[in-house]
Structure 1
Amino acid sequence: MPLSGGLAMFVGLLLVTTFFAGAQKTVAVLAVGGAMLVAIGWMDDTYKAKQKEFPVLPKLLVQFLVAVFAFLLEIRFRGISLSWIGGEEGAYISFPILISLLATVLWIVGLINMVNFLDGVDGLAAGATVFSAVTLFFLSMVRGQDLTALLAVALAGAALAFLRFNFYPAKMFMGDAGSMFLGFALGVISLEGTMKGATLISLVVTVLALGLPVIDTIQVMVSRILAGSPMYQADRRHVHHRLMSHGFSVKQTVVVLYLVSLLFSVLSIFLFFFQ
């Protein structure tokens, strides 16, 4: 089974965004960071194709480096408004540099792994990315953020084009190269888009837009803690595994989780307009 879907999505997104936006900062972050993730992911996929296990540490190191790279190019958490907790209108606290760095790294590395964890069933990670990216596109357009809207719709287009070959029964996989890049792209776009509001509501709206991978990761982490299992150890606690263990077919599982993603997207947009 070909594992080149991730490379195709990365190249497609890069070509489209460079053509329409040029060599802007956010495009450069996606290009450089994406290339690093695709490279290390390709190595991991090569090991898997040979039925060998690739060490976790190099992947985590690259994930950390791309998150720090984004931070250094000013794609970061900057602070938070106090108005939602009773502060005066316009009151704002800027994060110290270390807090900003920690929050940014946790957000980006977290999303990279969330989408990677979700890539366990044909079409699931790509489909969930489409829903999240379209939601971020819509929210960015409403806020007048033209660049992040372009990046989001290009990401949705790349994932949707790949989905044609990845929906059950899959003819191609994205591999770790693809899932890590998709998570990275969602992290960067959300930080430059909806997260720039620096309010509780903007954080909630963004988390809802990325709802399925976030909720799946949280429930897996909680179940592993309760079971005393290592966080890094692969298991069948993900939501798609749970559905299939209850008799759902692969296609039924994916369709149900698409509906869940759609629900999260609708809630995100509703909350954005009625905050």
Structure 2
Amino acid sequence: MNKIEIGVYIVIAIALIGSAVLTNLVRRLAIIDIPNERSSHSQPTPRGGGIGLVVMTMIGLLCSQILWSLTTWRGLMMYLGAALLIAAISWLDDLKSLSTKIRFIAHFVAAGLVVAEWGYWDKLDLPLIGSIALGQVGLLMTLFWIVGLTNAYNFMDGIDGIAGGQAFVAGIGWAAVGWIINDKFIFAIGGLLAASSLGFLFYNWSPAKIFMGDVGSAFLGFTFAVIPVMAMRSAHNYQNIMLWVGILLIWPFIVDTGFTLLRRLSKGENIFRPHRSHFYQRMVIAGYSHQLVSLLYIGLAILGSVLSLLLTRRS
């Protein structure tokens, strides 16, 4: 283990502690989430706790870059600028509900910043079929992947511990992938996401003392969408599998959101209207506890992480 790896571990440990401290501070100052007919909780609870994990992830990346130059400064600043835009617009949405149009414009601008610097998928490898050239269609696919996952992660942040738990598992998964492909930046961002999410989970595990809010969930969804795009450019021998690795690491959220969206479309429902028809929400309505449902999704995420590591090692 070299000095850079030891240093990154130290920064990750600081992120864990800092995230917990900031989350507790925000808990004392945050706006209150009042339960309504769509809520999965019954008590007024502070929200916006995701600010802590956003701040510590960004500070951790900046410190790592200053000390060890893990990636290009241009690439890092484009990601941080885009992620900050996502976090800022989502925080405003937490304070006062913004229109869907404003949020989507911000999401596509942020996605465009990442694609402009890090590129997009110009081909897609499918099992049993092989490689398919995408051309400019790949640009649209990458943009919609980023915007879609940003919103999907937000939709899934509806019960205690589920979004933070998924982020903890996926963060560890990306750190392990970064280790395998020898990409210290991917290792660092994965470790920082895992540590910051764990620090937040100290206060968000059921019964939650604070909620993540859109500021945290949208930031996580955006970041987990762009990591495979960033890894694609640096991991030359693993480019063709990075999308599948990214999907496997968060597959429970993708499957739940995908099936829920298709079901609502088939019924002619307004997909932008708030609802309680996700699988995890229906399980809570059926009487299962927040802890049990979150643990189920975390377990499924761990399975996906194992598969993603096997895929990476075999490639």
Question: Structure 1 length as normaliser, TM-score?
Answer: 0.87
1:6-25 superposed matches below 5 A: 6-22=50-66, 24-25=73-74
- Residues 229 and 242 in structure 2, CA contact (< 8 A), matched pair in contact too: no
What is the CA deviation profile of residues 191-240 of structure 1, one whole-angstrom value per residue up to 9, with x for unaligned ones? 112685343x4433321112121111111112112222122122111121
Task: Confirm or deny that 1:27 pairs with 2:52.
Answer: no
Is residue 118–residue 230 contact of structure 2 (8 Å, CA) maintained in 1?
A: no
Deviation at 1:273, TM superposition (A): 3.2
Distance 1:144 1:63, change over 3 A: same
Please report how far the alpha carbon of residue 25 of structure 1 lies from its aligned counterpart in structure 2 after TM superposition.
3.4
User: Does residue 76 in structure 1 map to residue 120 in structure 2?
Assistant: yes
1:40 aligns with 2:89: yes
Question: Match of 1:50?
Answer: none
- Secondary structure of 1:257's counterpart equals helix
Give 1:162's aligned residue.
Answer: 200
Match of 2:49 in 1: 5
Q: Check whether the contact 2:86–2:107 (CA below 8 A) recurs between aligned residues.
A: yes
* Contact preservation (8 Å) 2:46, 2:210: yes
Distance in 2 separating the partners of 1:30 and 1:172: 27
Question: Shift in Å at residue 251 of structure 1?
Answer: 1.5
- Which letter does structure 1 place at the counterpart of 2:58? L
Measure how far apart 1:84 and its partner are: 6.4
Q: Distance in 2 between matches of 1:213 and 1:57?
A: 23
1:73 and 1:249, CA in 2 relative to 1: closer, same or farther beyond 3 A? same
Aligned residue in 2 for 1:242: 282
- Distance change >3 Å, CA 138–CA 248, structure 1 → 2: same
CA distance in 2, matches of 1:110, 1:12: 24
What amino acid is the match of 1:18? L
Contact 1:134 1:152 in 2 (8 A): yes
1:61 & 1:40 partners in 2: Cα distance? 10
| 1:100 lines up with 2:132 in the alignment | no
Aligned length: 263
Whether 1:263 aligns to 2:303 is yes
Compute the displacement of 1:81 (Å): 5.8
Q: How many Å separate the matches in 1 of 2:123 and 2:184?
A: 22
Aligned partners of 2:117, 2:173: CA distance in 1, in Å?
Answer: 25
How far, CA to CA, are the matches of 1:243 and 1:133 in structure 2? 26
Q: SS at the partner of 2:206?
A: coil
Question: Which residue does the alignment assign to 1:207?
Answer: 247
Does residue 180 of the first structure (1) align with residue 224 of the second (2)?
no
CA shift, 1:27, in A, is: 2.5
1:29 Cα deviation from its structure 2 partner: 2.7
TM-score normalised by structure 2 residue count: 0.77
Q: Which residue type is aligned with residue 278 of structure 2?
A: H
- State the distance in 2 between where 1:120 and 1:26 align: 32
Identity %: 27
Instruction: Give the superposition deviation at 1:78.
Output: 3.7
Corresponding residue SS for 2:158: coil
Over residues 128-150 of structure 1, what are the superposed CA-to-partner deviations in whole Å (9 max), with x where a residue is unaligned?
Answer: 11111211111121011111111
CA separation of 1:136 and 1:244: change in aligned 2, threshold 3 A: same
Gaps of 5+ in 2: 1-44, 67-71
